[in-house]
A and B are shown apart, each in its own frame.
Chain A
Amino acid sequence: MTTMVMEREAPTLTATPWELVYQRPAALTDLPTHYCPGCSHGAIHRMVAEVIDELGIRERTIGVAPVGCAVFAYKYFNLDSCEAAHGRAPAMATGLKRVRPDRIVFTYQGDGDLASIGGNEILHAALRGEQITVIFVNNAVYGMTGGQMAPTTIAGMKTTSSPMGRDVLTQGYPIHIPELLAPMPGVAYAVRRSMHAVAEMRKVKKAIRMAFQAQLQGVGFSIVEILGACPTNWHVSPTDALDYIRDRMLPEYPVGDFKVDARLRD
């Protein structure tokens, strides 16, 4: 079945012509996403696409898609993209960037992909100071497989594989990736942002822009962790999921800049 997408004509009711303020970025394809209602992935895809358009780098950007909910990211970005094995996006991005240093290479990864099975890859890509950009979406669960506990699941949070809540004495503590990577000399930009409010979302986009800027300037590895909502697996409504980020996730994962290279501030 083909999905028909209709758009109303631009309004022409008034005498003065309307000024176009916002339209779909060219770096996104016309395909409707498969994400659940209220999922932050769609908005983060759009912000990445807007930044790529604004920097004018669409023709020389290569995206690396993860395994997880964002597995079809290569279909949604109107860019050259490839799909990495689970967690191996930084390794694939390393290869791409080393073979074609003139290209802008970014990975788009979830928390199950990056922090769990791909923990080794992300650590060593950061240690090597690879000139890549990592967009890391943290929603504290394995979304695609049905909401199991991830390394980023906060203490006490109920998931399908921790039905009594995550018990830190047996299941360990959540991992803080930007704080972990920030002390490494090869890392130029390591920040955490959140999607829970309009003002915070504007900061998310600024951080994504800075992360791409770091790669354009060649100052080192850049990573943006974004706290995203997963209403389906948190069993809350899309609007309540924003409150969940603010009340439950932010105390565990404070937003902030953990490392910003001095050359980026200029």
Chain B
Amino acid sequence: MTRGTVTIQSDRCKSCGLCIQACPQHVLAFAEEFNLRGYRPVQLDEREHHCTGCGVCALVCPDVVFTVYRQPLRRAA
């Protein structure tokens, strides 16, 4: 189940890979194509696991490429 997601400003990404190493769900990977600055930007790859919107990628990213969204928790009444 998808609990969260991120949007990525690909043209800011410098391909350092810190977010890929830090992501607890392993849902980030380098893209095949290049961005305007000549780096392969990070992208969301949810084929095996799903993003939980934990925000760790946004915490480690030196270039502030991530905006993080989460599904509001629905607790049983």
Given A6-B10, A43-B62, verify A24-B67 contact (CB < 8 Å): yes
| Stretch of A11-19, A57-65, A219-227 on the interface side | A11-19
Interface size class of B (residues with CB under 8 A): 35 or more
A residues 15-44 near B (Cβ < 8 Å) are: 16-25, 28, 32-33, 35-43
Residue pair A202, B59 in contact (C-beta under 8 Å)? yes
Shortest Cβ gap from B1 to chain A (Å): 10
Shortest Cβ gap from B25 to chain A (Å): 13
Residue pair B62, A35 in contact (C-beta under 8 Å)? yes
A120 to B22 Cα, complex, angstroms: 39
Most buried by B among A6, A17, A24, A32: A32
Residue pair B16, A21 in contact (C-beta under 8 Å)? no
Residue pair A32, B12 in contact (C-beta under 8 Å)? yes
User: CB < 8 Å: which of A7, A33, A43 contacts B9?
Assistant: A7
A202 to B22 Cα, complex, angstroms: 13
B22: A residues at CB distance < 8 A: 198
Is A46 in the interface zone, CB < 8 Å from B? yes
A10 to B68 Cα, complex, angstroms: 9
B residues 1-58 near A (Cβ < 8 Å) are: 2, 4-5, 7-12, 14-18, 21-22, 36-37, 39, 53, 55-56, 58
Shortest Cβ gap from A245 to chain B (Å): 12
Residue pair A19, B70 in contact (C-beta under 8 Å)? yes
Residue pair A40, B62 in contact (C-beta under 8 Å)? yes
Q: A14-B2, A21-B53, A239-B21 are in contact. List 6 more A-B contacts (CB 8 A).
A: A18-B70, A19-B71, A37-B15, A43-B59, A198-B56, A237-B17
Instruction: Report the 9 A-B pairs with minimum CB-CB distance, sorted nearest first.
Output: A42-B62, A38-B16, A37-B14, A18-B69, A22-B68, A37-B16, A238-B16, A21-B68, A22-B58
Q: Which residues of A contact B (CB under 8 A)?
A: 3-11, 14, 16-25, 28, 32-33, 35-43, 46, 198, 201-202, 231, 237-239, 242
What are 25 sample pairs from A and B whose C-beta atoms fall under 8 A apart? A6-B9, A7-B7, A8-B8, A14-B71, A16-B72, A18-B5, A18-B70, A21-B53, A21-B69, A22-B67, A24-B64, A32-B63, A33-B62, A33-B63, A37-B15, A37-B16, A40-B62, A42-B62, A43-B59, A43-B60, A43-B62, A46-B61, A198-B56, A237-B17, A242-B21
